Structure 1
Amino acid sequence: MAAQATLHCLTGCAIGEVLGMVIGTAAGLHNSGTIVLSIILAFIFGYALTMRGVMKSGLALGAAFKVALAADTVSIAVMEVIDNAVIVTIPGAMDAQLSQWQFWGSLALSLAIAFVVTTPVNRWMISRGLGHAVIHGHH
């Protein structure tokens, strides 16, 4: 269950993270601006995917947003800290361009490491009725 919750979180985070990195790099933003944009988009897409699912169960937008906050905030935050820390520590990754393997390789590696680190966090939260455990009543 924890791996499935982390994979769900990773999907939204990856969409936002990749989109933010692509936009920031293509626009020539400073590295810190690119990271901030990626984090913001990761939260937006992570919450949006959860909200989409729980709204199908009949929850209104506001209630769905509250469920998404409770279910995903810690998972997304951990994933983003790890993901961006990995990218920043890889020499040259933040300066790589979209056409370079280092851009895409470091991004893929950072997301994979974030998944591995975040899975036990989600397992711990679910075992205490937190995180993605709050979603199960809405499926």
Structure 2
Amino acid sequence: MADADHGAHGGASWGMAAKATLHCLTGCAIGEILGMVIGTALMWGNVPTMLLAIAFAFLFGYSLTLLAVRRSHLGWKSAIKVALAADTVSIAVMELVDNGIIAVVPGAMDAHLSDALFWSSLLGGFAVAFLITTPVNKWMIGRGQGHAAVHASH
């Protein structure tokens, strides 16, 4: 019988996939919001601000994983490899979906930080990205990839 964290035949459970996606979403959200705030404060255009936000999303997403695997006494080189293996696809899917939604919502790209449209499109994009990225993570973990690398490092 499969335990609570694993599905039948060694696959990943939806709960495990949702946890991995939530972990990814946390790093992405911190980085993306920080990037947008900085880009807006510096009065950059849409493209440079979005590029900074995406770069920060990857940076913070990888950093959260690095913190977790370093706590398990993994060396820096191995920890970086684990973070890259665990998060690259998940963050990429999340950023593609989230930023795609922001790009297609009329007026969202030009909304200011004080506008409800900015926050509703950003948070809505995160919600949709979570729903799309969770099955991707489930599929990857079930095949020993993605966040399965984090579990293997502990």
User: TM-score, normalised on structure 2?
Assistant: 0.88
Q: Which runs of 4+ in 1 moved over 3 A?
A: none
Q: Secondary structure at the match of 2:78?
A: helix
Mapped pair 1:30 → 2:50: no
Identical-residue share of aligned pairs (%): 63
Question: For residue 10 of structure 1, what is the aligned residue in structure 2?
Answer: 25
Alignment-derived partner of residue 131 in structure 2: 116
Equivalent residues of 2:94, 2:130 under 8 A apart: yes
Q: 2:142 aligns with which of 114, 127, 133?
A: 127
Partner of 1:75: 90
| Whole-angstrom CA distance in 1 between matches of 2:125 and 2:41 | 20
Task: Give the deviation of 1:102 after TM superposition.
Answer: 1.0
Q: Distance in 2 between matches of 1:104 and 1:72?
A: 25
CA distance in 1, matches of 2:49, 2:33: 10
Residue 9 of structure 2: aligned partner: none
**Higher helix proportion (structure 1 or 2):** 1
Of residues 108, 114, 119, the one that matches 1:104 is 119
Tell me, in whole angstroms, the C-alpha distance in 2 between the residues paired with 1:4 and 1:10: 10
- SS of the aligned residue for 1:58 comes to coil
Contact kept? 1:26, 1:98, Cα under 8 Å:
no
- Asked if the contact 2:82–2:150 (Cα under 8 Å) also holds between the matched residues in 1, the reply is yes
- Unaligned stretches of 5+ in structure 2? 1-15
Q: Secondary structure at the match of 1:135?
A: helix
> Is the contact between residue 82 and residue 153 of structure 2 (CA under 8 Å) also seen in structure 1?
no
Say whether the 8 Å CA contact 2:27–2:57 is kept in structure 1. yes
Once residues 60 and 34 of structure 1 are traced to their aligned partners in structure 2, the CA distance between those partners, rounded to angstroms, is 34
Alignment-derived partner of residue 39 in structure 1? 54
- 1:8-64 deviation line (CA, Å, top 9, x unaligned): 000001101111111112221111111100110000000000000000000111211
1:76-129 Cα offsets, whole Å, 9 max, x none, are: 000000010000001111111111111111111111111011001001101100
Conserved? CA contact 1:12–1:49, under 8 Å:
yes
